[in-house]
Structure 1
Amino acid sequence: MRRATEMTAVDDRRVHEAFENLVVPEGFKAELIRGEIVMMAGPDKVHNRIVQFVQDQIPSDRWERLQTQDVAFPHEESEPQPDLVVMKAGADDSPGRLVPAPAVTMLVEVVSKTSVHRDYVEKRSIYAAGGVPVYLIIDPFEAKCLVLTEPTGTGLSADYQNSRTRKFGDRVQLPIVGVDLDTSRFGTLPPLTPAP
């Protein structure tokens, strides 16, 4: 009988193999989050416009800005696909679909109906554990931005030590990236109603 750690390693390889070979239907996207393959519908126009407004304000001469790029996290069974990946120009010139987390300066997620828990909880700890210096959560349902900095810890207990919330219309300072983000053009969506 195989030991539990050997079985876990085999299971992890199987999940990665299944994820690598997954055929995602048009209009959907898939992510690997803590060993679970998560598939969701593609984003709406409000979401995509917000991502574009953010990307347009980050200077391309200093920063590489990649939309929906898979990121690899060491010591994590996760390959999330953030809405926007920001890294210093030249930080990762390797081929392939995965950007290594240590090359990343900022990750941006725009909350959707199905991603609330993942963006605020699961990805927050994954990104902190990976040492991503800045995590920006943009929530069109609440019309607010949450800027998280100073990652600390490992695994499920990892988190950011510093958080600042700003409402849409306010300028949002993005540390390290050196941008005062104009949020006045961010669209909103009707507030989400809690499940009964």
Structure 2
Amino acid sequence: MVMASRRRPCKLTPETETAPLPATARELFDALPSLPGLRAEVIDGRLIVSPVGTPEHARIAMLIYRALLPLLVQRGWDGFAGNVDVCIDGPRTPVEPDFVLAPPDCRRWGDRELMSSGLLMVAEVISPGSVEDDRVKKPSMYAAGGVPVMLLVDPITAPPTVTVLSDAKEGEYQTITRVAVGSTVHIPDPIGFDLDTAVFAEP
């Protein structure tokens, strides 16, 4: 959801008169103040500011973390359920996946953003307001940015599904495996893990 607000004109000072205005969505993102309770991303050239997900949405992200926790401990990887920005290599577009799996030495853009080419996997949980971005736009962004594996959890389709996208070439994932929630799906290298998607079933 793109959010805009009508602000009152501010009084110009010598500093504001000469300061250049942001010319791109990336520059506008960099100029944003802290936005508690909101998520800011640049997708398809659009700066999108949206509310954080519902508790159900956040729960699924945490279930991904819990399912992969033994693997994280065994291999010394880091897992983040939201609140971590990713910088897509090349265009430097910032996104905030619902879940990120990364080695502890993953390269960064600045202090906050993990570089996409250093990640092991990202995951997105589809919500009614993110259908097109999560299903269509973000897979191409992650593939072009060098993310080896993308996990897509779709609780709003009937029946709910889990999709694994891998083998990125020329900005697209070449291998797509989709299963209904309740089945086991293999997450290929560099993860190498059989995920029991029954963890995403409604309690």
TM-score between the two structures when normalised by the length of structure 2? 0.78
> Partner of 1:114: helix, strand, or coil?
helix
Could you tell me how far 1:93 is from its partner in structure 2? 7.5
Aligned to 1:99: 114
Q: SS state of the match for residue 139, structure 2?
A: helix
Task: Choose which of 60, 71, 87 in structure 1 pairs with 2:72.
Answer: 60
Mapped to 1, the partners of 2:106 and 2:181 lie a distance apart of 31
1:66 to 1:97, Cα distance in 2 relative to 1, 3 A: same
RMSD: 2.2
Q: Judge conservation of contact 1:40–1:114 (CA < 8 Å) in 2.
A: no
Quote the offset at 1:43 in angstroms: 0.6
Paired residues of 1:12 and 1:35 also in contact (CA < 8 A) = no
**Identity fraction in percent:** 30
Distance of 1:66 and 1:47 partners within structure 2: 14
Separation in 1 of the partners of 2:39 and 2:139? Answer: 19
2:194 corresponds to which letter in structure 1? Answer: D
Whether the 8 Å CA contact 2:108–2:115 is kept in 1: the answer is no
Larger Rg, first or second structure (1 or 2): 2
CA contact (8 A) 1:144 1:166 kept: yes
- Runs of 5+ consecutive residues of structure 1 not aligned to the other structure: 1-9, 189-196
Counterparts of 1:90-169 in structure 2, within 5 Å, are 90-92=105-107, 96-142=111-157, 143-153=160-170, 158-169=171-182
What is the Cα deviation at residue 81 of structure 1? 0.4
Contact 1:146 1:166 (C-alpha < 8 Å) held by counterparts: yes
Aligned counterparts, 1:2-21, within 5 A: 14-21=24-31
Measure, in 2, the Cα distance between the counterparts of 1:152 and 1:19: 28
Task: Give the Cα–Cα distance (whole angstroms) in 2 for the partners of residues 24 and 167 of structure 1.
Answer: 38
1:186 paired residue number: 200
Letter of the aligned partner of 1:144 in structure 2? T
Q: Where does the alignment leave 5 or more consecutive residues of structure 2 unmatched?
A: 1-19
**More contact order relative to length (CA 8 Å, sep ≥ 6):** 1
Residues 73-105 of structure 1 show CA distances to partners (whole Å, capped at 9, x for unaligned) of 122252110001112343348861110111101
The equivalent residue for 1:34 is 44
**Alpha-carbon deviation of 1:118?**
0.4
Which shows bigger deviation, 63-72 or 144-153? 63-72
Matched, 1:170 2:183: yes
> Would you say the 8 A contact 2:108–2:114 is kept in 1?
no
Query: In 2, are the aligned partners of 1:32 and 1:77 still within 8 Å (CA)?
Result: no
Residue type of the alignment partner of 2:41: E
- State TM-score, norm by structure 1: 0.80
